[in-house]
Chain A
Amino acid sequence: MANKIKNKEEKIEDAKSQSKHLKYAFFPGCVSRGACKELYASTTLICKHLGIELVELKRASCCGAGVINERTPILGDALNARNFAMAEELQLPVMTHCSTCQGVMSKSNKKLKENPEFLAQINEKIANEKIEPQESAYKSITSEKTNGTGNARHQGINHADDQLSDKSLQGHEGFRYKGTAVVKHLLWILAADYGLENLQKKVVKPLTGLKVAPFYGCYLLRPEETLGFESADNPTSLDKLIRALGAEPVDYEGKTKCCGFPITMMNRNASLKMAGKQTLDAKDNGADCMVTPCPLCHLNLDSMQPDTERIIEKRLGMPILHLPQLIGLALGFSPEELKMQTHIVSTESVLAKIVDKQ
């Protein structure tokens, strides 16, 4: 075991010498700190392992999740402008690991960036905030290199490192968003910034033979005008990533459709039918599991699956993995470390398949 870790560390050094140091302002969002804590755990775990440095925006508010943004859109934009301003101060791009956060923040950012007058008005509203010096406002989940403890898995709250601007540490008169923030989802970061070939080099436990249905969902793709990372008609990043991990991506129509979560409270029946439709589609196309870049999709596909099965009157038994969990497995982390035991639908069948191939 010790040998293995050492091996890993060597590889990390290798990768680092090849690629530039990646660092992001991490926006975890609400769900990964609430109902999907396993997402938070696995994201931070794999990022640390891959040498991607994350500085968590602890002072950041909820992005609005599309709800505040439709009920009171200006408030939604103000909250996001405030969050973007924090990342701007750190001079870091924002990383999300939730499609909903990504979609909402991209939309808000586009609106703020393209309408200087609007941005100025919003800035007036968020500038009144008095920021007390508060070092724990930013949490740095550092990579091994900057973290002196040597414990690669340590997840404690660390002081913001010295790259943070003095201003944010010392407190100041409110926030002011200049309109320069860049918001990226973990998937995009891995596919574009980190590089899938580099990710592939880190794979110690290829997921050979595992058929994974990529569930892109909505907010990472549509509308292309605001997101624009890849074609909404034919996205490929998640398929390619699955392949890089040694698994086989499953092609199915439901992969770019809605999981049904947004109407779970308004039309529960339709919501579950939707989840059932996409899950069944994946199953019919031979998927062993589905992987999603969005914790809300996870909630509807995984936590609600027993209800879904009752509604569509079909047995699904489809394990749903968070994106970083799937990556974590290929990087050699244990299911426990990735907190896969917290899923409602057992992931045993997936794990068995991976073990088999070893």
Chain B
Amino acid sequence: MIQHDIIIIGGGLAGMRAAIEAKGKVAIISKVHPLRSHSCAAEGGIAASLGNSMPDSWEEHMYDTVKGSDFLADQDAVEYMVKEASGEIFALEHMGVIFSRTDDGRIAQRNFGGYSKPRVCYATDKTGHALLHELYSQILKKGVKVYEEWYVLKLIIEPKGINEDGSKQQVCKGVIALDIKTGNIELIQAKAVLLATGAYGKCYKTTSNDYASTGDGLALVLRESLPLQDMEFVQIHPTGLYKLGLLVTEAVRGEGGYLINGKGERFMKRYAETKMELAPRDITSRAIESEILAGRGIGGKDFVYLDLRHLGKEKIMEKLPFVHEMCAKQMHIDVVTQPIPVRPTVHYSMGGIPVTKECEVLKDSKNRVLGLYAAGECACISVHGANRLGANSLLECVVFGKRAGRMMNLFCANNEIEEIYNQKLLEEEKKKIEELLNTDGKIRMIEVRDELQNTMEKYCWLLRDDRKLKFALETVRDLQKAYSQINIDDKSKTFNTNLIEVLELGSLLKFSEIIVLSALNRKESRGSHTRADFPKRDDIKYLKHFMVSKNEDEATGIKIDERPVVITKHQPEERKY
């Protein structure tokens, strides 16, 4: 029997930051090697009001973030994050992160969409990479046990006592995980478990997310009948490489890049007069889609140009070398002399596993699951509300990763490893995998996944309406049924990526349904969620979070819970940029 004090699922920024903070016998379980985590692909930067290039304050950072979120962010959480930001940046810098510098040797900061000040610290255009590798170094230094290439199949959550409101209290006692290399399935006990499983953009076809961004953490939670929050808010980044979906960092616009339509206009003047290209992502993406819909794409097609030719070779090579390289490799274009064809691409998910400000996973609007935590993109602590500002995600990962680590330390100090009552769990899980492997199915995994991704992209994209969403829901549910008929070619136990892909598809199918349900439920337009049939923001009915879970007790099989938005400093107002 393997036992740890703290188990962290996911080895990206949030997971590793938590591991650095965590005490006792700590382990990271990750389905990829930590350095392969998607955090490494973050390009633009990490926000903090250091004020290194002009005076700045956490208050301004907070206002920008809340406004960017279309006032759906919980302001207490935002306040915590922006106040911690500067200290955290310095801590990372002391750990060895190589930030780009100003002329006087301090951490350089640049402009990003939705910010009133140049607030984004960066390491050229590989900020995520710089952070991730340095955090991994700290993991090595500390000697944290890493179960690399292990896939978590199940959370072990069992009842324990009664909550204040009379409901059953639940506690997380560990996980069951599959060692991909050998095919062995093990039960790992722990006092506290942190979900830091990251992004889940792979339910869309056009996405900047990597192969592994399949939201396995969300599926683990759903399987335990726990809810997901604000899942309708999927950030579609304005500038993905046309057809490939790979991200062209916002730093390109931060450094002064233009968006140009088929008529050669800087069309952003129609949508955000003052901020132009530096409007928040939701507004910019909608602007691009509107241009395309109006037939003003390049050559009438479904893309626009991101033009940085006027920046000159020197600036491009100094500030945006990775963009230069990526465009050359993937599109065969030289950004010094040619504009980049771009289209919005699925990039980030504001929603996720609902947690308290202390990163504890919520069972419903009032009660927590003891010993279970979540941080990073998979969590919804709601600092991003309905739309995230660029460079706030890396910040969220490190600030709340650290906080989760500390909270788990506190929890572990007062709790012991809990005995697991259901002795059959491990055997059941082994049997399930065995059955899955031996399914004599007729359907190929890719057929189901393609269909899911295409459906989500067509019917649950930027502009949504009731009809489209209902169709999407039906299709997703059909696909869920087809799942059991999927064939797995690979019968071997060793490194069975075929099996993993099918398991990941299972995750995608599970939470995609919740995304669509949440989108149907929110009958207003806010932030990244745009309903063609309800084009206005409706603060009276919808200035709140919704938590959706699968619940067999309900007639519909679905339970929708509400949670108020925490408003402390900034009352909702109209967003203008």
- Complex contact flag A–B (Cβ < 8 Å): no
B residues apposed to A, CB below 8 Å: none
